[in-house]
Amino acid sequence: YQRRVRAKDDFFNSHKLHMHIPEGATRKDGPSAGVTMVTSLLSLALKKKVRANLSMSGELTLTGRVLAVGGIKEKTIGARRAGVKHLIFPENNRKDWDELTTNNPNITKGLTVYFVRWYKDVYEIAFNYGKKSAQEEADEENAEEDVDDDVDDEEAQ
């Protein structure tokens, strides 16, 4: 992926990296950190900081597909405790987020969540933080429409 983003950069050809991830070291850890590990390596290679106040979770395939993970409630609580305001979760965990929002709105209140299918979407959110993502723009448009609807309702009364 790094070659797609910065084709002339040969960081991985000129540096040796070793990641030791023992199988079963911590119960339930591992696959969920796929997008996080790739993002941290790209941050190092590209010498680019990741967006502040961002937490992410998602299993990653070799083709860049982001797969569902477990423990969305626990991960959200942990992010909230750490002061994180932006979360990235796999698209296939949207139902878990919706259920959490319905049953525990205090846990999700004030958090912005991004649902992704591919690593390229994670990259856009994590590294292009000066620009608004398509999801952020859509959320803003929806919020504006909601306000317009509220104003129309008040005027009608």
- Residue-level pLDDT at 106: 93
Mean pLDDT by 10 residues, the chain (157 residues): 63 71 56 87 89 93 91 94 96 97 94 96 88 56 54 49
Task: Identify the bridge partners of residue 66 per DSSP, sorted by sequence position.
Answer: 60
Q: Who contacts 143 (Cβ-Cβ below 8 Å, separation ≥6)?
A: none
- Report the DSSP beta bridge partners of residue 59: 67
For 73, left (φ over 0), alpha (ψ -120 to 50), or beta? Answer: alpha
**pLDDT of the residue at 69:** 93
> What pLDDT score was predicted for residue 24?
53
Which pLDDT does position 150 carry in this prediction?
Answer: 47
What integer pLDDT is reported at residue 47 of this predicted model?
Answer: 87
What's the confidence (pLDDT) of residue 13?
73
Q: Is the pTM here over 0.85, yes or no?
A: no
Active-site residue list = 32, 75
